[in-house]
Structure 1
Amino acid sequence: IRYRPISNESVMFSNLETGNINAAEVLSPNDIPAAKSNSSLIYKQVPALSFFGVMLNTKVAPLSNVHVRKAIEWGVNRDEIVNSVLKGVGVVAQGPISPSSWAFSSSIAPYSYNINNAKSELAQAGMSSVSFTLLIPSGSPLNSQEAQFIQSELQPAGITVNIKQETFATLLSDTDSHNFQGALLGWSGRPDPDGNMYSWFHTGGGFNSMQYSNPQVDSLLEAARASSDQSTRTSDYQQAETLILQDGSYVFINHGVSIQASTNNIKNFPLLPTGILEFTNVYLGS
């Protein structure tokens, strides 16, 4: 097995089409329709364990008001972002737990796009309009486009989003020091739900830049971490997820997808939601 680094995704796909390489795990969304329609290729995708969205600093006005945060939740059209910005290369997220996880529940109701609900939440906050600054990593057209979608979607609800681009290092420094209102950031995901929840949503968690704190969530995450019974842990995580959504400290937009495109003579090459490459039973067929 030989690895060939190719930094440009379009060049990588061109090499795959011509047979210069046999498999690729990263493709530009623009190349995926061609990969799906090419009879000489096998294309697969599964929901990954990652999640992406907007962190909301719960200790900084106006986002310190839960009704303002919930107004933002209702005002973001997740389906439109996945379909138009990500070109379908993503799965709409209801929370931190991916559909590929054993702890996932389809019965948890996610936020859907509803401007009337967004306006109602603002009214409960005693406001008719509000504004906040959204930090995004610079240098990514995809991040810019997603932020602009969020900006345009929230405007009819009376929510003005001021987009500010920062280098990734500066953005991380600002979020780590809680020097922000909103930030477009995601997480690569972990096989155990603890890795997607404890550090992010437990009080004082290492990735909890939102400064989110809910004693009930803390207790559930601690109990799940201490248990070895999967059914008990599943119940704990699903209860915690429901509370996290109600508190609106993070606008879950989408889960990523693990992608694999290979020439059709590559056999037994599994695609895992972790993104880990497994070559144990792979062979080159005719």
Structure 2
Amino acid sequence: MRFTAPALLAALLFSGAQAQAASTLVYCSEASPAGFDPAQYTSGTEFDASAETVFNRLVQFQRGGTALEPGLASRWEVSADGKAYTFHLREGVKFHTTQWFTPSRDFNADDVLFTFNRMLDKNQPFRKAYPAEFPYFTDMGLDQNIRSVSKTDAHTVVFNLDHADAAFAADLAMSFASVQSAEYAAQLLAAGKPQQLNTLPVGTGPFVFSRYQKDALIRFDGNREYFKPEQVKLDHLIFAITPDPATRLQKLKAGECQVSGYARPVDLAAMKQDPNLKVLEQPGFNVGFLAYNTQHPPLDDPRVRQALDMAIDKKAIVATVFQGAGQVAQNVIPPNQWSYDSAIHGAPYDPEKAKALLAAAGVKPGTQVALWAMTVQRASNPNARLSAQMIQADWAKVGIQANIVSYEWGEYIKRAKAGEHDVLTYGWTGDNGDPDNWLGVLYSCASIGGSNYARWCNKPYDELIEKARLSADKAERTRLYEQAQQIIREQMPVSPMAHSVVAQPMRKNVQGFAINPFGVTGFYGVSLAP
């Protein structure tokens, strides 16, 4: 029998309910992932469906927190000069057995070497057979700083760096550093199917990938061989891909899903009053912003960017879009990030001054720009389309005609990395608790073509970021990062818009769920009450 996508989902849910209803959790997710190889992506959509389910990293963040804890490495040491990191690997960890792969050995050092050498070496055989870009790895400069990755035995790996990096261990806890199976990769290479690494993933994580139907569902099974068995409390996990937030709410209320992604602020009050639902909340570690393509005239002129910034009534946008669950951003990093410079304040809303700046820069009334609006909902911007429409109206008052453009999420990111946009709505949630994850990843020269959507390169800024990365002195790093924030404020490659309160709605029978401060959604440790 052939099923349509909705019918297929219903059939799978029904069969799961018949088998073990109490151990099947359905998550109403917001979009289809572009793939399942975490190293290739920078978006939470892909990380939720891969890094947080299928994979592990050498070190990981404590569930719901920012502190580091052992992952695939049971412990690690750092040399006195900060240039060598030695990881002692956990023994007895098993890769997933699936319909497309049966491992013949446990996880070992060869898997770590394959994972990182694929990102480091463009001539590595697997990478030559399946060329890919690794934006996080390069945006953070790891391709330039990691001199070598070697093993001293089957369970000991050493990373040698060209220079000290205070955030290195935390970097390896990020999703992009998820460890792949070298044996599986070799099998794919021999079969001439290396691209399957991104479509049929194999990891060591708490859930085993089973199947994916784009725009419909992703199905996982609980990993009963997981090295932390106490964290696998679900037999089945299903991502029901539901882009429309109203539909997600309906499914949650009807019990068709137990957890829903990205609730609209306007729906939160009703959710909190529903006796079958609960809403977890905490201050967000995020910022929503506009990125100006500084390689496109007239946006290459800082005066034009400053004018467009002060022409936006941010208070009105936050009030309308966030419905009380956000605050106007004064800076490009959130207030709960250490090194945040509280002396920086955004320019007040001033259309008349904006007009004068535009005139001084030679920008004529009626000038057109393409304003890209995200098609997915994010904590840092719950309704990018509405935000764009309000910005469009504000800019019209100062003579700028903004034409709103939208693409499917994967296409949006692809085109944005290529620099096709003039201005785009975007947002960022911190990944590792270190300021470099914001100031280095989003604004360094090396990040152009990656997550630097402003395509802005400022040498004095880059020098500050590099000095801060080298230092192990937190006070010194803070001083350098504050100077860097001042340069961003002066040059205005982006307009910071808002910081949100993160809300996570779910059914009341969901137990053990913890909001991840880094904006990804994981289900290890989660269970369902009868």
- Match of 1:188? 429
Aligned residues: 285
Alignment of 1:1-286 (within 5 A): 3-6=25-28, 7-8=241-242, 9-10=245-246, 13=249, 26-37=262-273, 43-129=279-365, 130-138=367-375, 142-190=383-431, 191-205=433-447, 206-261=450-505, 271-275=515-519
Cα distance in 2 for residues equivalent to 1:267 and 1:171? 35
- The two structures have a TM-score, normalised by structure 2, of 0.47
Aligned-pair CA distance for 1:244: 0.6
Q: Which has the higher contact order (CA 8 A, sep 6+)?
A: 1
- Aligned counterpart, 2:13: none
**Max Rg structure:** 2
What letter is aligned with 1:183? L
Counterpart Cα distance in 2 of 1:39 and 1:107:
44
Question: More deviation in 40-49 or 169-178?
Answer: 40-49
Equivalent position SS for 1:223: helix
TM-score if structure 1 supplies the norm length?
0.82
CA contact (8 A) 2:286 2:429 kept: yes
Distance in 2, matches of 1:16 and 1:165, equals: 27
Change over 3 Å in CA distance of 1:113–1:60 after alignment to 2:
same
CA displacement at 1:207 relative to structure 2: 1.8
Q: Answer with 116-125 or 67-76: which moved more.
A: 116-125
Give the deviation of 1:267 after TM superposition: 8.7
Other structure's SS at 1:53 match:
strand
Q: CA deviation at 1:19?
A: 8.3
SS at match of 1:72: helix
Query: Is the 2:27–2:258 Cα contact (8 Å) retained in structure 1?
Result: no
**CA deviation vs aligned residue, 1:46-92 (integer Å, no higher than 9, x gap):** 33223222211112111111111111110112221121123233332
Asked whether the 8 Å contact 2:25–2:257 carries over to 1, the reply is: no
CA pair 95-163 structure 1, distance change in 2 beyond 3 A: same
Question: For 1:172 and 1:134, how far apart are their aligned partners in 2?
Answer: 14
Return closer, same or farther for 1:237/1:46 CA change in 2, 3 Å cut-off: farther
Deviation at 1:282, TM superposition (A): 9.2
Alpha-carbon spacing, 1:43–1:160, altered in 2? closer, same or farther (3 Å): same
Partner-residue secondary structure (3-state), 2:403: strand
Q: For structure 1, which segment, 235-244 or 31-40, has the greater mean C-alpha deviation from structure 2 after superposition? A: 31-40
Counterpart for residue 62 of structure 2: none
Greater shift in the superposed pair: 195-204 or 134-143: 134-143
Cα distance change on mapping 1:10 and 1:233 into 2, 3 Å: same
Aligned-residue sequence identity (percent) comes to: 27
In the alignment, structure 2 segments of 5+ residues that lack a partner are 1-22, 29-240
Q: Distance in 2 between matches of 1:217 and 1:247?
A: 10
How far did 1:162 drift? 1.5
Structure-1 residue corresponding to 2:195? none
Q: CA RMSD in A?
A: 3.3
How far apart, CA to CA, are the structure 2 residues paired with 1:170 and 1:277? 22
Check the 8 A contact 2:284/2:517 in 1, yes or no.
yes
Contact kept, 8 Å, 1:133 with 1:182, in 2: the verdict is: yes
- CA distance in structure 2 between the aligned counterparts of 1:22 and 1:173, rounded to whole angstroms: 32
Distance 1:36 1:199, change over 3 A: same
